[in-house]
Amino acid sequence: MSQLTINNVRISGMSACVPATVEDNRTLSIYKDENEALKVIASTGIERHHKVDPGTTASDLTVKAVEGLLKDLDWQPQDIDCFAYVCTSRDFIAPQTACVLQDRLKLRSDCCVFDLPFGCSGWVYGMSIVSSLMSHGTFKRAILVAAETNTLNRSQRDTTVRPLFGDAATATALEYDPEHSRPMNFMYGVDGSGYEAVWAPYGGMRHPVTHEALEEKEVSPGVFRRGVDMIVNGMDVFGFAIKQPPRSLKELIATFNIDVDSVDLLLLHQANKFIDEKIRKAVKIPAEKTPYCLEEYGNVTSASIPLTMVSRCGERLAGEDQHCIACGFGVGLAWASMEFYAGNVKISPIITY
């Protein structure tokens, strides 16, 4: 089992930016009537999501989230030693979006910046990577972004994805602080044989963009997609999501001797309510310790866990240390679980853009 313990790093602040435009599932034209929409809402728990207007990218939302966070923390852009950008909907094929953001955010030219192209497991993976770099002690302050514009890389005429996915950017401020930090523990998992459960077949080097890949086709009744659009095979994702995340969390609990009763918050990737409730029950955490934001924002992939923290746990995270366990899972198929403490965290109010 790959496991990791990281010391001396704490979460100092968090922020999130969502697009101003809201799409309500009740009034989506893709359904034949409201009844059909209500059925989907009842089973997924997702009522609406925020959606970028044409021309806006995940990095635009990111600039707002990071600027708000730095202001609320009273940090300067020059204070940042490391900047990681978790996102799959990158601005350009090249360069990495993090490089463009260095200039837009006025980060130092010797700042360590990089993209991490993770999906739903991305915030947990990103936390482990950035915290690990910081634990050496020379990077004092870092920003971990988890952002995604799911409405741009998925077909808007695909009934299997449109009601479920939304757009958001989140920023997590990390600080080297041996005095006020407690260990973070991580477990990882991957099953590459399931890569076709969530994927975009065209647009990479394996299947480059062709004219045909840009043509929208009806792949099943009511489902229109281009070759470059993301495919979510709901049944295979579901089978994976009810199995691996509970197993991963149970491994985390066993490996690090976590007393489940002492857990204050179970932070799950916001896949859908049906899946997440199965995971919650499997690890026996009470409902009141398991916050959700999917009803309002939908599945925002790597931004799900930090958006849940910012939008639903602000008061608790601003107070005494909260004992948290988290699990991100999805495209890859990849998943990761972590245990951490978060308290005295500066949580910025949600920014809309």
| Residue 190 engages other proteins in binding (rule: CB under 8 A) | no
Residue spans of alpha helices (H) in the chain: 34-44, 58-73, 97-104, 122-134, 150-153, 234-241, 244-255, 273-282, 294-297, 304-312, 314-318
Question: With CB under 8 A as the contact rule, which of the stretches 36-44, 108-116, 169-177, 327-335 interacts with other proteins?
Answer: 36-44
Q: How many CB atoms lie within 10 A of CB 215?
A: 10
Question: With CB under 8 A as the contact rule, which of the stretches 25-33, 227-235, 300-308, 310-318 interacts with other proteins?
Answer: 227-235
| Residue 172 engages other proteins in binding (rule: CB under 8 A) | no
Q: Considering the complex, what minimum distance in angstroms separates the CB of residue 83 from other proteins?
A: 39
The residue among 40 and 63 lying less far from other proteins, judged by its C-beta, is 40
Structure tokens at 134: 């910081």
Q: Considering the complex, what minimum distance in angstroms separates the CB of residue 230 from other proteins?
A: 16
Considering only residues 233 through 262, tell me which ones interact with other proteins, judged by CB under 8 A. Answer: 233-236, 238-240, 242-243
CB 100 within 8 A of CB 59: yes
Residues 200-209 as b/e (b if ≥16 CB within 10 A, e otherwise) read bebbeeeeee
- What residue type is 237 in one-letter code? V
| Residue 278 engages other proteins in binding (rule: CB under 8 A) | yes
Q: Considering the complex, what minimum distance in angstroms separates the CB of residue 33 from other proteins?
A: 14
| Residue 274 engages other proteins in binding (rule: CB under 8 A) | yes
Question: What single-letter DSSP state applies at residue 211?
Answer: T
The residue among 224 and 238 lying less far from other proteins, judged by its C-beta, is 238
Binding mask 94-133 for other proteins (x = CB under 8 A): ----------------------------------------
Can the peptide bond before residue 333 be classed as cis, meaning omega within 30 degrees of 0? yes
In the beta sheet, which residues pair with residue 5?
185
Number of residues that bind other proteins (CB under 8 A): 15
Three-state secondary structure of 54-74: CCCCHHHHHHHHHHHHHHHHC
CA distance 124 to 147: 13
The residue among 127 and 164 lying less far from other proteins, judged by its C-beta, is 164
Structure tokens at 148: 């995604």
Q: Considering the complex, what minimum distance in angstroms separates the CB of residue 237 from other proteins?
A: 9
The residue among 267 and 333 lying less far from other proteins, judged by its C-beta, is 333
Q: Considering the complex, what minimum distance in angstroms separates the CB of residue 238 from other proteins?
A: 5
Question: With CB under 8 A as the contact rule, which of the stretches 97-105, 129-137, 232-240, 309-317 interacts with other proteins?
Answer: 232-240
Considering only residues 133 through 162, tell me which ones interact with other proteins, judged by CB under 8 A. Answer: 160
- Ordered DSSP codes for 86-131: E-SS-S-SSS-HHHHHHHHTT--TT-EEEEE---TTHHHHHHHHHH
CA distance 123 to 86: 7
| Residue 39 engages other proteins in binding (rule: CB under 8 A) | yes
Question: With CB under 8 A as the contact rule, which of the stretches 10-18, 39-47, 107-115, 331-339 interacts with other proteins?
Answer: 39-47
| Residue 77 engages other proteins in binding (rule: CB under 8 A) | no
Footprint on this chain of other proteins (rule: CB under 8 A): 39-40, 43, 160, 233-236, 238-240, 242-243, 274, 278
